Chain A
C-alpha cells in the first residue's frame, strides 16, 4: 500500500501551515517521514535543505505526533529536562515552557496522572524545549476542552508571530484550522489535491447573502450578480465592494433586513476537494 504517492509539497517558512485529510490520507505518514520515524520507499524529502534524521534537521524540528506518550515515572518538569538534554540543551528551563503552555502548577506531578488535554499541552512544551525553527503538531487540540482549544490557538499564533516558528499543523477541526492557519494543503489517499492561502480560498468562495422585505426587488436591482437562495439573495462580490453595494441598494429603496457572508468556510472547500478526488 502506498501511503504517500508522488507527493510534492513546499512549505514556506514562517506562519502556520495546515495539512488536512481524512484518516489514512497520509498526514501522519508525512510527519513521521519528516521526523525519521519512517523511512521512505523512494523520493526525496528535504527540510531546511537537509535530510530527515540529519543533525541539522533534528536541531530545527520540534514535534508532537498524535496523542503523546510519556514515561510514567517522570514528572512534567523531569520529562522536559530529560528531553532537553537529549536535544543537547544544557539548561532546558522546563518551568518557562510549562508556564507557556499553562502547566506551571503541574510541573512536579507525575505525567502518568495527567488528563489527555494536559498531555497534549506537555507534548507542545516538549516539542518547544529544544527551541526549534519548525514545529510539527499532529492533532494538537485533540481531547482538549473549548477553553484549552482557545488557549492553544492563541499559543500557536503567538509562536508563529512572536517566536518566528514555522508551525505545520494537522487537525480534523476545520474551523480551528481556518482560524489559525495562513495556508492549507489537503491530502487525499496519499496525494496532494489542493494547496491554497486561507484568505484567498475564503475570498474566492464566500458570497454576501441579503435578506430583504422584497427579494424580487433585490434580484431586479442586482441583475446578473445575484441568484435567489431560499428567502434571500446571494451576491457574488468581494468584501471590499460590499459597503458601496449596500449603500447603493439602500439609497435605491431596498428594505434590507440582514446581510452576512456565507459559503467561505474551509469545510465546503475541503469536502469539494476530497469529494472530487473520491469521484475519480
Chain B
C-alpha cells in the first residue's frame, strides 16, 4: 500500500541526516544566520539611535519564503531531490524495496517525502524571517506592524507558488535520476535546469514575455504568481497581469504532472539487473 511505502521512505529520510540537513535545513538556517548577523551589525552600527517606525512582519515573511525561488537556494533542493530519487540506484537498494511494494507506490512515496520536506523547508524560511524581524525590532527598539487581514491569503498563495516551483524542480530531477540511474547526473541536470531558467528570465522579462515562454519556464510562472500573491511590482509600476495567473498556475501543475508521469513510466518499465 502507498501508506506503507510513504512510512518506509519517511523513516529512511529522517535518518539520512546529511540529506536532511544539506537538502532541506541548510537554506532556512543559512538565511536565518545571515540575517541575524546583518541585524546585529546594523543594530550595533546604529547603537542607541534606533530606527523610527514599525517593522512590517508580513512582507518580511513573504520575502523569506520567496527566497526558495532563487537558483542558488534551489541547488540545495536539487541535491535533496537527487539523493531521494537516485539513492536506490547509488546504493543498489531497489532490490530490497521492489519485492515489498509496487513500483508506482515506491516512487510516489519519494515524491510525497520530497514534497513534505520542501514544505517544511519553506515553513522554516517563513519562521526564520519572523524570528529575524522580531530580533531586529528588539535590537533597534522598533515596534512590529502586524500584517493586514489579507495576509493569510497572500501567504498561502506565495507558499503554494514557491512550493509548486520546488516540486517542478523535484520531478525534473526525479525523471533524470530514473533515466540516468545516477545521482551525480540528476544533481547536475537539476542545477542546470534551475539556472537555465534564471538566465532565461534575465533575458526574457516576465512582464513582456509571450505565453509560450511561461509554458517553457515554470520558474517564470512561479515568479509571476509570487508577485501577484504578495502584491509586489514585477517592474517599476508594473503588476502581474491577472489574465496570466490561470495559465501560469496551469503550466506549473502541468510540469509537475508530466515530470512525475515521465519518471513513473520510465521506472515502471525499467529492468533493474544491478540495482
Contact = CB atoms under 8 A, between A and B. Distances in A.
B96 A37 contact: no
A86 B5 contact: yes
A74 B14 CA distance: 10
A38 B273 contact: yes
17 contacts: A36-B98, A58-B99, A58-B101, A62-B99, A68-B95, A69-B92, A69-B95, A69-B96, A70-B91, A71-B12, A78-B15, A83-B96, A83-B100, A85-B11, A86-B8, A86-B100, A88-B100
Nearest to B12: A82
B273 A87 contact: no
B70 interface: no
Interface in A20-74: 32, 35-39, 53, 55, 58, 61-63, 65, 68-74
Given A37-B273, A73-B16, A81 B99 contact: no
B93 A88 contact: no
B8 A65 contact: no
Closest 8 CB pairs of A and B: A86-B8, A69-B92, A85-B8, A88-B4, A87-B100, A86-B100, A37-B272, A35-B99
Interface string B72-94: 00000000000000010001111
A35 B98 contact: yes
Q: Is the interface of A mostly helix, strand, loop or mixed?
A: loop
Contact of A68 (B96, B97, B100): B96
Q: Which of B11, B18, B94 has the most CB of A within 10 A?
A: B11
B95 A86 contact: no
A66 to B, nearest CB: 8
Nearest to A74: B15
B23 to A, nearest CB: 13
A80 to B, nearest CB: 11
Contact of B1 (A36, A83, A88): A88
